[in-house]
Amino acid sequence: MAVKTYGYYDGKQITTHFNSNEFRCKCGKKHSIKIDSDLCPTLEKVMDKIGAKAGNIYSGYRCAAHDKAIGGTGGGSHVQGYACDIWFKDQKGNRIPSDKVCMALEDLSHNRGVGYRCGNSSVASGNIHIDTKPRKWYGDEHYSMSASINTLKAPSDGKKGHTTYLTYIYKPTTKTVTASYLYARNGKGTNYDKVGGYPKGTKLKVYYVEDGWAKIDVNKWVSNQYLK
């Protein structure tokens, strides 16, 4: 991780889909741009995960003056070059809802910043804040980047201010293990690491099923054929 500085007219193609010019500050002045080296690769991983055709960065780097002008502190992750506000479109040109984008980030074990429903926008708008700044990770950043928004406690660390992402987005169903012993895996498919198992008769919360695999936690999947 390293924050790099680009000139206003550099037009550097950083990754396949993202150019340095897309991160220009919206203040109207032609000054340099800061972008963390991990930010664009993270955006590419998200695009691949959700099958996006393109990503539209509507707020990238911000100079301190512009950040303050729009209500920021003048020293946040946008000013430091770690963040962008973005929405993605699918292969048909439709905006991908922000809940699906956040789900993809958590599936990718993104343990940096996420701002769900950026700027209090609707889920359908797809607007989301993504940053790569090292900081405390609560595990449920879809709800808020503040630990004082509500009174719920996150199971990841017991702190108040967060609710579980999967339960927030999906209504889980309860299924029972029918095999003598069923292994959970870190990711779908047989090539992922085993991360523990469940004996026959164990009841599991299943959030959704994809490609024959049932999601039982942020990074845990089990074979759906052995659930009833």
Can you tell me the distance from the alpha carbon of 174 to that of 190, in angstroms, rounded to the nearest whole number? 23
Least confident of 137-141, 209-213, 224-228: 137-141
Start-to-end C-alpha separation, the chain: 45
**Which residues face 198 on adjacent strands?**
182
In terms of Cβ atoms closer than 10 Å to its own Cβ (0-12, 13-18, 19+), residue 130 is: buried
Q: What is the pLDDT of residues 62-83, one digit of tens each?
A: 999 999 999 889 998 999 999 9
The rounded percent of the chain whose pLDDT value lies above 90 is: 56
Q: What is the pLDDT of residues 170-186, one digit of tens each?
A: 778 999 999 999 999 98
As assigned by CATH, the class of the 170-226 domain is mainly beta
Each domain of the chain, given as residue ranges in start order, spans: 3-135, 170-226
Predicted confidence at residue 160, as pLDDT, reads 46
Question: Topology of 3-135 in CATH?
Answer: Muramoyl-pentapeptide Carboxypeptidase; domain 2 (3.30.1380)
Alpha helices in 56-169 (DSSP H): 64-69, 77-80, 98-107, 165-169
**What region, left, alpha or beta, does residue 62 occupy, with left being phi > 0 and alpha being psi -120 to 50 degrees?**
beta
> CB count, 10 Å around CB of 144?
18
